[in-house]
Structure 1
């Protein structure tokens, strides 16, 4: 069986910088910051291989072509080109890595149309699996193998990595389990199912009755979940009335909320004015205190000056004439005698007393003015305080009106949700009734046919490969790992994968995919040849390891296990690979900034962009 090799994924658009990642034929690691387009790359690969979910992020806007490069088993280059949202894939037998204008060599449908002109048959024919059949149900019906039956085993997205659905199944359900078991038989043994013919209608009718009974049980269960016995028309009318009530309540709530916002703003302004008034009143009181001390000082100075004047008069120090000390007449007194001194002292006392009286008078006027300001500010503060109380009362009244409005709104919304749920249940009931009528008219699946199982020795060999993969990562408590061909799940440490937490589910899914690829490629059994894993390590944490990341021991051994991988491996992760892996693999780092911020390069400025 042949294998495919991915060479590149490219997004191209007119006037936009080309976004591309090139894949190493053996091992590629894409890691770095979150929200840089790593998962978008995996989703785009799945989309180009026939996936129906279009990958979409804002930075992809404007790109008109998605290019996926491959190498066929004989080494021939191949480029698949698809428009985002397009239903056709254009095939070019060349290695194209820019906007494609050439005429394609072939055009195939991106979706399976049960013909030889879809991408599924085209690629399966290149690896020799286009005529392989798989079983689709327990009755024994078969259909041709689809590419989607293999891509979900080779391209594992981050959501499927942690989903409890068994890794061998694309979806849940009995039919999916049967198909997955048949695909695993094809991969592990190389043997497909023999095509089955339609069985007699009598058997179909027996199965039909079982399906009808199941539908009847589902109908009874859905009826039990209905909150009220109302027709869809009645529910629609009630829903319309509730919508009108909601609009009225929303308008009332908006008016009250607007009044509340204005009242809160007014209350805040009043609070600022109160603070300003109190600050100014504090300043005035402080000045009054200081000026009161100064007034006391002036009064003390005047008292001392008056005392000096009275003492001088009493002793005659300030009288001009005969000296009170020696009795000499003025004409007999010496030029430097004390008469001049005493006269000047008397004049100085008078001048100082006059100046102090003047200062005291001015100070008294200032104090009187400040006291008037104090009284005015105190009254203003009292007025503001009263206004604040009134504003608080107004806010309390608004809140009292808002409370019943909010409660009523919650009740109406809850009632609307109940009606919408009943409408959904009614729609589901109508679908079941239609499906029941179709089963009655068309018949059902034929009777059960014995299924060819996978030999025990093959399952044992695969389980050994799975165990070696887990042991190489140094993960604790993963002994007795194995694949259950009946349930489709894998188990390790005595617990199925679905019974583990998100971290172990991701690692067990990755280990299953790697073991399956190793087993098939080493034995030249059917496999696409490449493996793309998105975020197998993000959610895992070792027991008793106090960190929010995976221990480097597991990370390093995980990455190193791919250095000897027999096919092509592409790992998309946040965890940094060890230095020896960086040297031995193609490592693409998305830093969120710098030369390679992410999958999409920075857009050119509008001034230089091409319209």
Structure 2
């Protein structure tokens, strides 16, 4: 199950769409420079998840959308991507003319390609300290070869930052094996984190050890702390007992003061009442004395004889006329009644006075007793407050400070022990540097060397005796010589042979692969070689052999070749290339019309 490219379309709202139809086995797009061949490769790279929008050329000005129709597992899919906004990328399960929201697939293009390639569950190294799944960029790197890449003197795996990941994906595509069992190094971030933690622990340990005496003995300090705690408990118990005793005394004191205040209040009230009663009794005495005096006066007055006036000698009967004897009797009777009433009231008052005197006497006695009790309790309080128990012969503040000192020493020692363990744990996390990654191919992979050599023989390089795939460099040696040591033309041809053999071998063995290969200008540099030592086989022979071989290609995988070099008329009809003329009015000018 591999991907086959079927159709590339660039669409415009004001111009006719431009289309490239791909043959199921091989497609040659032929034409001079600046007709859009490399632009086609850039469009395919972009449609297959690349980040860079194809460069803006004058002919593409009115075109805004790219479409790529592909066949995977006999199902048709279309990738749609804007030429103006790379975030507008859509995937449909339908051909280009039938796409709509109903058949849209909500999946990232990169993950879709990985799934189609059979690499979905493959884990590869991205660096010596990180791994992850194969992604779309790995597939594009190895199966979409650019013109600059074909002649480059740089390693096939790309930049140093990509090296580990590209080598790992190359190995997986070739062998079907991944790096899931590979032991990872620690990342620089992890190492820095561990080193920082160790530095902090060491600094903290130095500080703590400075605060710990040289002669510190944990057992001795611990025993001293136990004894000190016992002493403080005893002191606390004694103090609590004294506090409780004082509390009880003050409770009694409070009760006595309350009773004393109550009795004093009642005594004052009783004395005031007694005083008022005695005043009333004195009033009754005075009233009786007055009534007795009046009664005696009336009795005397009634018995007096008329007397002559000492001045004039006349005798008056006026008083006798006003007060008859009957009147005097009535008045004396009234006085007697009033006196009797007062005597009765006085008798009741005397009973009340007696009761109040008893109350005053009782409260006077109570106040005296409570005063004596109050004096006694206050003396008790003074004695307790001023007492110094023989057992409490220590300065509690000093003991408390000593206890704090012992506790700090023990806590410091515990923290040191804890930090030492943490230090050992962090140190154990530092992994020994893993040995260099060494990927080897067994004898069973000799077939790929044979396959690449046979391809080169078909292209006219029959002098080549051996091809050796260098799995660590993702490249080949030709008769013991590194490919990169050759001139640009041979570098390009040899890389094309490697890429085709790589794809064919991967498909043959059901290893992950993209299913197609795009090669931009494999022959151009060889045809333009200026140094005769870089042309080991005549250019014409190589061109004719390459095109004849390509016309007969029905091997594994779909080949798409973009090339400048013209095709022999005898092969042209069989190869049926897509021809760009680069000339107005003569055939198809280029990818875009002029």
Please give the range of the TM-score, normalised by the shorter of the 2 chains: 0.5 to 0.7
Are residues 448 and 27 of structure 1, via their aligned partners in 2, closer, same or farther at CA, if it must alter by over 3 Å?
A: same
Unaligned runs of 5+ in 1: 109-116, 210-442, 603-611
Are residues 546 and 133 of structure 1, via their aligned partners in 2, closer, same or farther at CA, if it must alter by over 3 Å?
A: closer
SS at 1:466 equivalent? helix
2:40 alignment partner in structure 1: 41
Question: In structure 1, how many angstroms separate the alpha carbons of the residues matched to 2:151 and 2:483?
Answer: 10
| Residues 65 and 80, structure 2, Cα contact 8 Å, conserved in 1 | yes
The normalised TM-score by structure 2 is 0.54
Correspondence 1:456 to 2:446: no
Residues 90-105 of structure 1: pairs in structure 2 closer than 5 A: 90-96=90-96, 102-103=100-101, 105=103
2:591 alignment partner in structure 1: 599
Question: In structure 1, how many angstroms separate the alpha carbons of the residues matched to 2:144 and 2:123?
Answer: 21
SS at 2:456 equivalent? helix
Deviation at 1:515, TM superposition (A): 0.8
| Residues 11 and 67, structure 1, Cα contact 8 Å, conserved in 2 | yes
Deviation at 1:207, TM superposition (A): 11
Question: In structure 2, how many angstroms separate the alpha carbons of the residues matched to 1:199 and 1:496?
Answer: 30
2:542 alignment partner in structure 1: 554
Question: In structure 1, how many angstroms separate the alpha carbons of the residues matched to 2:494 and 2:503?
Answer: 14
Question: In structure 1, how many angstroms separate the alpha carbons of the residues matched to 2:542 and 2:193?
Answer: 50
2:136 alignment partner in structure 1: 147
Are residues 208 and 596 of structure 1, via their aligned partners in 2, closer, same or farther at CA, if it must alter by over 3 Å?
A: farther
2:63 alignment partner in structure 1: 63
1:387 alignment partner in structure 2: none
1:539 alignment partner in structure 2: 525
| Residues 487 and 534, structure 2, Cα contact 8 Å, conserved in 1 | no
SS at 1:539 equivalent? helix
| Residues 67 and 80, structure 1, Cα contact 8 Å, conserved in 2 | yes
1:389 alignment partner in structure 2: none
1:12 alignment partner in structure 2: 11
The normalised TM-score by structure 1 is 0.53
| Residues 537 and 550, structure 1, Cα contact 8 Å, conserved in 2 | no
CA offset digits 1:556-602 (Å, max 9, x no partner): 11122232332211111011233454333341111123231111124
Are residues 44 and 550 of structure 1, via their aligned partners in 2, closer, same or farther at CA, if it must alter by over 3 Å?
A: farther
1:577 alignment partner in structure 2: 567
SS at 2:91 equivalent? strand
CA offset digits 1:475-519 (Å, max 9, x no partner): 266442222122333221432122111111111111110110121
Correspondence 1:523 to 2:530: no
Deviation at 1:36, TM superposition (A): 0.9
1:191 alignment partner in structure 2: 177
1:500 alignment partner in structure 2: 486
SS at 2:579 equivalent? strand
Query: Which residue of 110, 113, 133 corresponds with 1:120?
Result: 110
SS at 1:570 equivalent? strand
Are residues 189 and 494 of structure 1, via their aligned partners in 2, closer, same or farther at CA, if it must alter by over 3 Å?
A: closer
Residues 199-598 of structure 1: pairs in structure 2 closer than 5 A: 204-205=190-191, 447-448=433-434, 451=437, 453-475=439-461, 478-541=464-527, 544=532, 551-562=539-550, 563-564=552-553, 565-579=555-569, 581-592=571-582, 593=584, 594-598=586-590
SS at 2:63 equivalent? coil
1:158 alignment partner in structure 2: 147
1:426 alignment partner in structure 2: none
SS at 1:531 equivalent? strand
Question: In structure 1, how many angstroms separate the alpha carbons of the residues matched to 2:144 and 2:573?
Answer: 25
SS at 1:121 equivalent? helix
Question: In structure 2, how many angstroms separate the alpha carbons of the residues matched to 1:127 and 1:181?
Answer: 17
Question: In structure 2, how many angstroms separate the alpha carbons of the residues matched to 1:120 and 1:458?
Answer: 32
CA offset digits 1:357-403 (Å, max 9, x no partner): xxxxxxxxxxxxxxxxxxxxxxxxxxxxxxxxxxxxxxxxxxxxxxx
2:398 alignment partner in structure 1: none
Question: In structure 2, how many angstroms separate the alpha carbons of the residues matched to 1:471 and 1:163?
Answer: 23
SS at 2:51 equivalent? coil
| Residues 7 and 24, structure 1, Cα contact 8 Å, conserved in 2 | yes
RMSD: 3.2
Deviation at 1:44, TM superposition (A): 0.7
SS at 2:16 equivalent? coil
CA offset digits 1:29-63 (Å, max 9, x no partner): 11122211111111111111111222121211121
Are residues 496 and 197 of structure 1, via their aligned partners in 2, closer, same or farther at CA, if it must alter by over 3 Å?
A: closer
Are residues 101 and 529 of structure 1, via their aligned partners in 2, closer, same or farther at CA, if it must alter by over 3 Å?
A: closer
Off by >6 Å, runs of 4+ in structure 1: 195-203, 206-209, 443-446
Deviation at 1:179, TM superposition (A): 2.2
1:281 alignment partner in structure 2: none
SS at 2:70 equivalent? strand
